[in-house]
Amino acid sequence: MTESPETLNTHAIELASKGNFAEAIACFKRAISMENSNYLLWYNLGVTYRDSGNLQAAKQVLLTAYKLDNTDEELLDSLTLVCFALDETDDAFEYCSENIEINPENPHAWNNLGVLYFARGEYRKAETAFEQAVSLYPHYYDALYNLRDTYAELGNTVGQAECARLMAQLRNKGNYPNA
């Protein structure tokens, strides 16, 4: 097998999926040394650092990918979540807002925005964001779960019960977790 950025990327993803993060990181670094302007290699390396628990390295590498392509929704989603996990809320809001600006119909970005607002105790803004996520994707279990909790914080028992009902319907279809 000829070593190329593509084959190294594929091998690194396989290693990471098995929890072999150190080996995966080494493969990604080797691929990047061959093709350092490929944002996808940087992105995959960042995700691997994130999954291995090294959030600081994940952020730095994801920022390199961002410099190469600042329009990738998955990249912006990852930056949002890594910044949030690092308690860098302002940065998380920035990347999440960029993601929504790029694609206002991205339910995951709206759900993330709701999580950010909820964490700040801004429940009305969280409610609006979660409702937007659910309106874009009515079967989005996580957004329904978050909206239910937000309604509980706001004392909206009717909304809370409706979310619980919809979540139960989704669980009964067998594709969603218990909550």
- As a whole number of angstroms, the distance between CA 10 and CA 58 comes to 19
Domain residue ranges of the chain, discontinuous segments joined by +: 120-179
Distance CA 92, CA 167 (A): 28
Fold classified for 120-179: 1.25.40
- Residue 174's pLDDT is what? 74
Q: Does this model's pTM top 0.75?
A: yes
Question: What is residue 82's predicted lDDT score, i.e. its pLDDT?
Answer: 99
Q: Is 121 exposed, middle or buried (0-12, 13-18, 19+ CB in 10 A)?
A: exposed
pLDDT in tens, 26-65: 999 999 999 999 999 999 999 999 999 999 999 999 999 9
Averaged pLDDT score across all residues of the chain:
96
Low-confidence ranges of the chain (pLDDT < 50): 178-179
First vs last C-alpha separation in the chain: 46
Q: What share of the chain is helix, strand, coil (3-state, %, to 5)?
A: 80, 0, 20
